[in-house]
Amino acid sequence: MPGLKELSRHLQSVNTVGQVASAMRNSSTAKYSRLNRKFEEYRLYAASFMRICHLLPDRVRAYGDINEQAPVCYVLIGGKKGLCGPYNSALSEFALPILKENRDAVVVACNRKAKELCRAAEIVPAMEADLSEMASYEEMIPIAGFLESGFREGRFSSVRLIAQHFANALTQIPRDVRLLPFPSEEEEESLFGIKIPGGVKYDPADTLLLPDEESISRNLEMLGLQAALYCAALDAALAFQASTMVAMRTACDNAQEMAADLKLQISRKRQASITAGVTEIASAQNAEEF
């Protein structure tokens, strides 16, 4: 049985862990709230922008014929660190079989856990990126440029995203969705999590495009890819903060319960020590009287 000193040291360490978990919970809660607002606002814009890209007919699309013989390019977005519950482990269990099945795939690894996953699959990433916790649009521009040029030049047969999807504060779902060629109107809901009603169709007879159709199509599709990537990065970041928030809340609650149990044990130890001392004194007095 641990003594009073051991219990006191254990209580001190538990309180320290609880304070750290509480601080991380508060930080992740604040980031979660900010990301949630940003994601809800931006995904409506991204989905609407993607719908604009669908207005252009296939004959003026910037991308030429798809090279079906080229490998698939995967954009893998992982967590920056641990202490986020099952976020990284669930993503690893989902993505590792896909990567091992497609060892010739080109991978863009975003964040430390994605790079570790590539090493586990024995794949050398063609591009690496470290995204901020709050996700920045500027961080998507070089990634989108790499993906767009590779797909247009026929080095990729398609571009797909593997990342965690935010379902709610308690649930994050790993997913594998298509980025290029652009998803169909039916697939957009799985990418953005919302459904945008169909709009008007493009009519060349009633529309004037300047400077020309090809330039406008190239710019639209590049901006659409950047928007889809940024929306996916916000989604993954939101899922990460939600998972961290729940994990740290659980750790904080467990620390409080353990601290309460240790305090009870310490109180009982002290009470037993006091009772033993009083009993010894009383026994000594009784012995003197006899």
27 lies in a domain?
A: yes
User: Where do we find the tokens 């964040």?
Assistant: 111
Classify residue 3: in a domain, yes or no.
no
Confidence of residue 26 (pLDDT cuts 50, 70, 90): very high
Q: Which of 21-35, 166-180, 203-217 comes out lowest in average pLDDT? A: 203-217
More confident of the two residues 281 and 251:
251
Q: What b/e readout covers 75-113, taking b as 16+ CB neighbours within 10 angstroms?
A: bbbbbbeebbbebbebbbebbeebbeebeebbbbbbbbb
187 in a structural domain: yes
Say if 138 falls within a structural domain: yes
Angle at 100 between CA 94 and CA 102, to 5 degrees: 105
Spatial distance between the Cα atoms of 58 and 56, rounded to a whole number of angstroms: 7
Q: Is residue 289 part of a domain?
A: no
Q: Which DSSP letter does residue 139 get?
A: G
Q: Dmax of the chain from CA atoms?
A: 121
| Res. 97: pLDDT tops 70 | yes
In a domain? residue 258: no
**Range name among 33-42, 113-122, 194-203, 221-230 with the lowest pLDDT average:** 194-203
Q: Return the CATH number at 88.
A: 3.40.1380.10
CB atoms within 10 A of CB 35: 23
Q: What pLDDT score was predicted for residue 62?
A: 47
**Residue 164: per-residue pLDDT:** 95
pTM of the model: 0.85
| DSSP H or E run through 217 | helix 213-289
pLDDT band at 254 (very low <50, low <70, confident <90, very high): very high
Residue 198: burial class (beta carbons within 10 Å; 0-12, 13-18, 19+): exposed
Element (H or E) spanning 186, and its range? none
CA distances from 127 to 76, 196, 233, 283 (A): 10, 32, 16, 80
Structural domain for 103, as ranges: 22-35+53-199+208-245
- CA–CA gap between residue 164 and residue 166 (Å, rounded): 7
User: What pLDDT, on a 0 to 100 scale, did the predictor assign at position 202?
Assistant: 60
Q: Is 171 contained in some domain?
A: yes
* 185 vs 77: which has the higher pLDDT: 77
Residue 111 has pLDDT above 60, yes or no: yes
Highest mean pLDDT among 56-60, 114-118, 283-287 belongs to: 114-118
* Residue 107 domain-assigned (yes or no): yes
Residue in 60, 213, 218, 91 with CA at minimum distance from that of residue 162:
91
What is the number of structural domains in the chain?
A: 1
| pLDDT value at residue 59 | 43
